[in-house]
């Protein structure tokens, strides 16, 4: 029996998860959960980085002091794209910004004026989103940020927390590949691209593979306690590693949470005019597998509606919101989930979006909830069709993993909208992938195939068959019209 501690930090909350590996099965236990709320200052929107690390230390104490667990490893995964800078002394020179910070607005177009869109995609194969690390870094450079004058090292968020734990500065591969300055074909940072933009590639540390041993954990006295491994640092990479798929590659995945990441695994990056036109991304996963995927706004819209309604005095939990959605009128409104990037009064934003695109706004909170779930399912159908056109084959099954896989109403909507079988679970795929990649680094699990076998043996799944697709076909026509208007 071996114990591992996985820190899983999402855009809404973080957890310390204790994983126990025994007899080919993995057990998970949540030891500590904490919120992850950004902080708005006069200068922008920031992550509360030091508090997050304090909460991680609390989770470590829960494992080692309270549970007396003899840990065989520690690993960290987080959301993607955000970056931190260290000075020569190893201290943070600025608190990391949140990817929804308004500083990024319009930055893609300013970057394209120097290096054209097509050339950036040819080098990096990454979808274009203003939140990408490349645009964040370039925005700092254009704003003449004093932090860059003294920056000695750039780290992504899981790398930063690994550094806090060990003192070792490394970039983990899966998180580096979300940056839009990593070349997945050449398997190295896109140095020439950075230099053309006036960005200093010499502050980038060496890249390590998922499962690499980073070093020993250091406590306040500097003594060594337990090994820290580079988990699949991007939370989606950890989640995809834990998709319980077996056999033929006739499946795709949706890692469902604040964001929905929908895609397939391929052996090589797919970088061509078609993938550029469809704005797909080529991120790197465990064992160098390419995650050909698209980012979709996900349950972020639900989270923001819930926050707004709570401020108005209506405090719903997610179970209540699902019940409200189930009881609400079907297809009251069709929206495009990806039209909502910035925080704010989400119900008001949705109502304005509906009016702009010829849809009647939802009339009740339940209709808002249902419209979001239905529109997500319609967006998944669109992305599925795009994936099949890129691959030239039919995808018969959709694996939904992550916290959103617990929403069986959404899962059934996905089956109905796409006409595909949906396999939902495990909901803790990210934590499972984090811990099993550590176990692979420790030599206890052989490879990605064995990781997925352990997951399949350890966690139940729910299979949902598609029902009547007719109403969804009519709704999809409305969705395509809205999409066309947004992408003109």
Q: DSSP code of 468?
A: -
Structure tokens of 335? 């929206």
Q: Do the beta carbons of residue 135 and residue 197 sit within 8 Å?
A: no
* Known active-site residue 77: no
Calpha distance 385→278 (Å, rounded)? 11
Q: Do the beta carbons of residue 266 and residue 292 sit within 8 Å?
A: yes
Secondary structure (DSSP) of 91-126: -BSSPPBPTT-GGGTTHHHHHHTTS-HHHHHHHH--
Q: Can you tell me which residue has the tokens 């549970």?
A: 67
Q: Do the beta carbons of residue 80 and residue 236 sit within 8 Å?
A: yes
**Dihedral pair phi/psi, residue 395, rounded to 5°:** -105, 115
Q: DSSP code of 143?
A: T
Give the count of beta carbons closer than 10 Å to the beta carbon of residue 167. 14
Out of 77, 159, 235, 416, pick the active-site residue: 235
Calpha distance 42→32 (Å, rounded)? 32
Among residues 123, 438, 116, 465, the alpha carbon closest in space to that of 286 is found at 438
Instruction: Note the residue count of the chain.
Output: 488
Pairing of strands 260-266, 290-296: antiparallel
Going from the C-alpha of 247 to that of each of 75, 251, 367, 391, 424, the distances in angstroms are 28, 10, 40, 18, 17
Calpha distance 19→409 (Å, rounded)? 29
Q: Do the beta carbons of residue 397 and residue 423 sit within 8 Å?
A: yes
Going from the C-alpha of 80 to that of each of 83, 371, 392, the distances in angstroms are 9, 27, 29
Catalytic residues: 235
């Amino acid at each position: 029996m071996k114990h591992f501690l996985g820190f899983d930090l999402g855009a809404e909350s973080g957890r310390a998860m204790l994983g126990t590996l025994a007899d080919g099965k993995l057990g998970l236990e949540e030891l500590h959960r904490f919120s992850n709320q950004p902080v708005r200052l006069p200068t922008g929107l920031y992550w509360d980085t030091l508090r997050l690390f304090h909460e991680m230390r609390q989770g470590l104490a829960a494992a080692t002091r309270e549970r007396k667990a003899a840990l065989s490893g520690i690993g960290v995964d987080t959301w993607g794209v955000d970056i931190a800078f260290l000075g020569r002394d190893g201290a943070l020179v600025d608190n990391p910004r949140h990817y929804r910070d308004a500083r990024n607005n319009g930055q893609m177009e300013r970057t394209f004026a120097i290096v054209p869109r097509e050339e950036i995609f040819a080098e990096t194969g990454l979808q274009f989103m203003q939140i990408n690390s490349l645009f964040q870094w370039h925005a700092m450079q254009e704003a003449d940020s004093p932090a860059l004058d003294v920056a000695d090292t750039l780290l992504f968020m899981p790398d930063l927390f690994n550094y806090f734990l060990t003192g070792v500065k490394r970039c983990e591969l899966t998180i580096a590949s979300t940056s839009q300055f990593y070349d997945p074909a050449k398997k190295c940072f896109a140095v020439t691209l950075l230099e053309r933009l006036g960005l200093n590639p010499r502050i980038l540390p060496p890249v390590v593979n998922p499962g690499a041993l980073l070093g020993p954990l250091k406590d306040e006295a500097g003594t060594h306690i337990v090994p820290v491994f580079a988990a699949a640092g991007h939370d989606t990479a950890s989640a995809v590693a834990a998709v319980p798929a077996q056999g033929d590659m006739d499946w795709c995945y949706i890692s469902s949470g604040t964001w929905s990441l929908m895609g397939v695994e391929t052996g090589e990056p797919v970088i061509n005019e078609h993938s550029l036109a469809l704005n797909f991304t080529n991120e790197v996963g465990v064992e160098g597998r390419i995650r050909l995927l698209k980012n979709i706004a996900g349950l972020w819209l639900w989270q923001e509606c819930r926050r707004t309604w709570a401020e108005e005095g209506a405090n719903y939990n997610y179970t209540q919101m699902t019940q409200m959605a189930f009881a609400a009128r079907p297809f009251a409104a069709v929206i495009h989930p990806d039209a909502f990037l910035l925080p704010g009064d989400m119900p008001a934003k949705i109502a304005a979006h509906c009016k702009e695109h010829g849809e009647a706004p939802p009339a009740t909170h339940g209709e808002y909830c249902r419209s979001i779930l239905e529109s997500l399912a319609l967006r998944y159908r669109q992305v599925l069709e795009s994936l099949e056109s890129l691959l030239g084959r039919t995808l018969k099954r959709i694996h939904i993993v992550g916290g959103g896989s617990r929403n069986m109403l959404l899962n059934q909507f996905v089956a109905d909208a796409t006409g595909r079988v949906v396999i939902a679970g495990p909901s803790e795929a990210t934590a499972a992938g984090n811990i099993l990649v550590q176990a692979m680094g420790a030599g206890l699990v052989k490879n990605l195939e064995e990781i997925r076998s352990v997951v399949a043996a350890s966690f139940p799944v729910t299979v949902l068959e598609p029902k009547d697709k007719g109403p969804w076909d009519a709704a999809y026509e409305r969705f395509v019209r809205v999409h066309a208007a947004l992408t003109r």
